[in-house]
Homo-oligomer: A and B are copies of this chain.
């Protein structure tokens, strides 16, 4: 048997994380699928970390705790953010660079501008910074009782494609799945991030001492209505959306324009 064949037989090593915390139903569904594809290591936050964006913990200490939840190769809960979890896994836990890093399945959409606030996607982006093919999965259903059956089929399909094809350097995938039965999903669209925004509403309340405090909330506004190449259009029309997502934030087209200012 040639070395090539032996190498081909090595099972993929898969890192699983999320931002809803290691006990969320969404990560359980993700682990279940990944166990059918390779050797799984879970390193995930010990509590919900939604909205953490690409935060890292540099002014406080971190801890990890070995846990036994999912019967996988290795599993840890971490006191840090989703990005911390990926850094920990790559630098302290995994025996080698993983073949795939998956994050989610998030309870709630991460389409459009949400990508930038999303802890789920920040873990996938961090994976791609570390040069690991990485995918963030989100189901457009915030409920703790969300039905992940269709999602699991989509997760498997997309993950197999990434394991087979790899991903362009510096690119990860932002996969959003509509809240539908598998048979109702029309297909998968490769999209761009829709232009949208949150119109914030700071919900003011008063504590028992009469002092105000606030909950950050808001209304979502889509500036790309009816644009069929966007993730929001895909989701509204019963497709899974996949946005190739990069960490190069340079607005390359603006360089020439600003050079003209001659500051």
Residues of A that sit less than 8 Å from B by CB: 48, 50-59, 61-64, 80-81, 83-84, 87-88, 90-92, 113, 115-117, 122, 125, 129-130, 157-158, 161, 165, 167-168, 170-171, 173, 188, 190-193, 195, 197, 200-202, 205, 211-216, 242-255, 257-259, 261, 263
Shortest Cβ distance from A143 into chain B, in angstroms?
16
Q: Do A247 and B116 have beta carbons less than 8 Å apart? A: yes
- Contact between B51 and A192 (Cβ–Cβ < 8 Å)? no
Query: Of B157, B213, B245, B254, which contacts A168 at CB under 8 A?
Result: B254
B57 touches A55 (CB 8 A): no
Chain B residues with Cβ below 8 Å from A259 are 190
B249–A84 CB distance below 8 A: no
The interface residues of chain B lying within 8 Å CB-to-CB of A197 are: 129-130
**8 interchain pairs, CB-CB under 8 A:** A51-B59, A52-B53, A64-B214, A113-B129, A165-B261, A244-B257, A245-B249, A245-B250
Interface of A is mostly: mixed
Choose among B168, B171, B249 the residue that contacts A116 (Cβ–Cβ < 8 A): B249
Q: Tell me whether B192 and A250 are in contact (CB under 8 A).
A: yes
B250 touching A214 by the CB < 8 A rule? no
Cα of A58 to Cα of B191 in the assembled complex, Å = 27
The residue that A58 contacts in the complex, of B51, B57, B250, with Cβ under 8 A, is B51
Give the residues in chain B near A257, CB-CB below 8 Å. 168, 244
Is A250 in contact with B244, judged by CB distance below 8 angstroms? yes
Residue of B with least CB distance to A214: B62
Cα of A91 to Cα of B91 in the assembled complex, Å: 41
Given the complex of chains A and B, what is the CA–CA distance between A245 and B249 in angstroms? Answer: 5
Closest chain B residue to A174, Cβ basis: B249
Q: Is the CB of A61 within 8 A of B115?
A: no
B165, B200, B252, B261: which contacts A91 (Cβ < 8 A)?
Answer: B200
Q: Which of B51, B129, B173, B213 contacts A55 (CB 8 A)?
A: B51
Please name the residue on chain B nearest to A84 by beta carbon: B216
A254 contacts B244, CB within 8 Å?
yes
The docked-state distance in angstroms from the alpha carbon of A98 to that of B180 is 42
Closest Cβ neighbor of A62 among chain B residues: B214
Q: Are A251 and B171 in contact (CB under 8 A)?
A: yes
